[in-house]
Amino acid sequence: MMQIDTRLMEQVKDVLQQFGTKYITKDGSLKRNAVISDLDKYDKDLMVALLANNLIKDEYTEQIADTTVFKLNHFIEMFEYQEFWGNSFTKYANRIGLTSDDKFISDSDDVVLDFPYKDTVLKAGMTKDDVDKEVGADEPFLNETLAHSEISELFEPKVLVNAKLYDTEGEHKATNFDDNDNLVIKGNNLIALHSIAKKYAGKIKLIYLDPPYNTGSDSFKYNDRFSHATWLTFMKSRLEIAKTLMSDNGVIAIQLDDSEGPYLKVLTDSIFGRDNELFTQYVLVRYANKTLKSDMDYHKQIEQIHYYKKNSNAEVKPNKDKVPYDYSKFCYEVKTTGKPSSSIMLGDKQVDIFTKDQVEFKKTSGNPEGLKEIWASGTILNGNSSGRFFRDYLSGRYKKDGYGVVYKVYDIGDDGNDYRFFTGPKKAGATKGKYYQGVPLDVKNGKTSQKLLPIPGFIDMAGSFGNDRLEGGVELRNGKKPEKLLKNIIK
C-alpha cells in the first residue's frame, strides 16, 4: 500500500504540472488548498485532467449503471493527508488528537457553527400580519439542494400592495416611489429583503436587525427540541441577504441578549468573516430594581449590539463625538539639575540617565505647556511610539540602572519637544514605569481644538427603555427599542 500511495501522488503531481504554477509552486511544492478548493467547485478542466490518468481513474472511480463515478471525497481526503504519510503506513502517522469525520480538527481551516437545518431556508411568519395559521405552525424547512426551485420562488421579488404615502398633509394613495422617499415595508422580513434586493443590492450603508431573542417568551414560537437550530436557520437566511444589500463600506448592527448572543457571534463570523467584526457594544436596558419577574433567580439587565462590516478591504470609521481639548491632565513640570550620570544609545535614540535626586517633578494646574503623566503598561506598550520604546528598551533596565532613575529620551513623540522623560520603577518589588507627554503639536499650533472620543463599549439606555412604550404614538409592550438608541446607532 505504501508504494502505490507514493506512486499515486507522483502521478497526481505530473497531472497538476499541466496547469503551470496554479497548483504547484516554482520550488515544486503542492498548493493543496488551491487544488481542494477547485475540486470542491467541480472545476471541469482539473477533473478531466485527473480522470485522464489511468492510475487515478482506477483508484478513485467506480462504474455504476454504465456511468463513471469519481469518488471525489476519498480523493480529497487522500490529498489532504498525504503530507502525513511520508514515513508511515497509516494516514495518522504519529499523531494523537481530536478528529471529526476521520480528520484532525487542527488540520481544518474552517471551524464553523454546525446545527440541524443548516442547509435549509425557513420562511418563518412571525407577526399578526402573517396568516394566523402560519404563526408558530410547523413550517417546512426547504433544503437548498432538494427544494431549490421552491426557495427560488420564495426569494423572487413580490408585488408591494396597499401602498400609502404619508406627508405633512396626511395619508394618500401611492402609485410609485423614488430614491428620495423613506420606505416602511410591512410583512415577512425574509421575503421583503429579497424583494428589494434587485434595486438596493450593494447600496445600503447601515442595517439594524432586531430579531426575536428566542427566550421562550418572545415571538419566536418554535419551541420544539430543535428551537435553537431553528432560530439559527432563521437568522442565517436573513444575514445572507442582508450582506447582499450592504454597500462595500456598509455596516450591520444586530441586537440581542445573551440567550442566543454567543451563537449569533459565531454564525455572523462565518457569514461576514471574523476579521470583519468591528465592535460589540453592551447596552443597559433595565435598572437593577426593575425586575421582569419577581420569582426569577437571575436578572437580565444587559443586551449586546454586534457590529460588522461587509468588506475586509473597506475602511469603516465611526463618527466619533468631538469635545473641546482638555488641558487639565497636562499638569506636570519636569526639571533636571547637573549633568546626566550617563548617556547611552538605545535603538537609534540618545538617552540621558539621571538619578532621582537630579530630577524634580512639580504638579501645577493644567496648561498647554504642561506634561501629562502616563503609565507605561497594558495596551499603551503596543499603542504608540513611547509605549513601544519603554517595552523594547526600558522595561527591566532597573536591574542594571537601579530604582528611581529618570531617562531623557531624545527625538521621540509628537508634542513639539525634542525629548520625552521616562521613569523606571521607584522601589523594590515594582516593575512599572511612566512617561511624560506634552500637548500634541497640532493642538498647540491651532490646527485642532477638539478631541475625538472613541465609541463607548457600554451605554446606559435603561431610562429610555423604561419610557418607550408609547413612543411615536405606537404601543408596543415587549421588545420595542427606544428612538434614542436607534438615533445613537445611526449617528
Q: What's the confidence (pLDDT) of residue 276?
A: 95
Phi first, then psi, for residue 255 (nearest 5°) are -110, 135
> What ranges in 291-409 are assigned the alpha helix state H?
380-383, 385-389, 398-401
SS3 (DSSP) at 250: strand
Strands (E), 257-386: 277-284, 302-309, 322-324, 330-336, 342-346, 349-354, 359-363, 371-376
Strands (E), 177-264: 204-209, 246-256
Phi first, then psi, for residue 402 (nearest 5°) are 95, 175
Q: Which domains does the chain have, with CATH numbers?
A: 2-107 (no CATH), 120-309 (3.40.50), 324-451 (no CATH)
Q: What's the confidence (pLDDT) of residue 221?
A: 65
Provide the grid cell at 294.
Answer: 419577581
CA distance 388 to 368: 25
Checking 421-429 for CB contacts under 8 A at 24+ apart, the result is 421/334, 421/359, 421/371, 422/376, 422/386, 422/389, 422/390, 422/394, 424/394, 424/397, 424/398, 425/398, 426/356, 427/403, 428/403
Based on the number of CB atoms within 10 Å of its own CB, is 114 exposed (0-12), middle (13-18) or buried (19 or more)? exposed
DSSP string over 91-158:
TTTT----EETTEEGGG-S------TTTTEE-----STTS-GGGTT-----EETTTTHHHHHHHHS--
pLDDT per residue as tens, the chain (491 positions): 343 445 777 888 889 999 988 888 887 777 888 888 888 889 899 999 999 998 888 888 988 888 888 888 888 877 665 554 444 444 444 556 666 666 666 666 556 678 888 889 988 865 555 544 444 456 778 888 778 888 888 999 888 889 999 989 999 988 888 888 999 998 888 999 999 999 999 999 999 999 888 876 666 666 556 788 889 999 999 999 999 999 999 999 999 998 888 999 999 999 999 899 999 999 999 888 776 666 677 888 999 999 999 988 888 999 999 888 889 999 999 999 999 999 999 989 999 999 999 999 999 999 999 999 999 988 888 888 899 999 999 998 999 999 999 999 999 988 888 899 999 998 888 888 999 999 988 888 877 888 888 999 999 999 888 888 778 777 776 678 999 999 999 99
Tell me 82's DSSP state.
G
Q: Which amino acid is at 445?
A: N
Provide the grid cell at 258.
Answer: 445573551
Based on the number of CB atoms within 10 Å of its own CB, is 303 exposed (0-12), middle (13-18) or buried (19 or more)? buried
Looking up cell 427606544 gives 482
Provide the grid cell at 273.
Answer: 468573516
Strand 419-423 versus strand 433-438 pairing type? antiparallel
Provide the grid cell at 27.
Answer: 520550488
Q: What's the confidence (pLDDT) of residue 132?
A: 47
pTM of the model: 0.66
Q: How many CA atoms lie within 13 A of 482 on its CB side?
A: 16
Q: What's the confidence (pLDDT) of residue 225?
A: 63
Number of alpha helices (DSSP H) and beta strands (DSSP E) in the chain: 16, 23
Q: What's the confidence (pLDDT) of residue 105?
A: 65
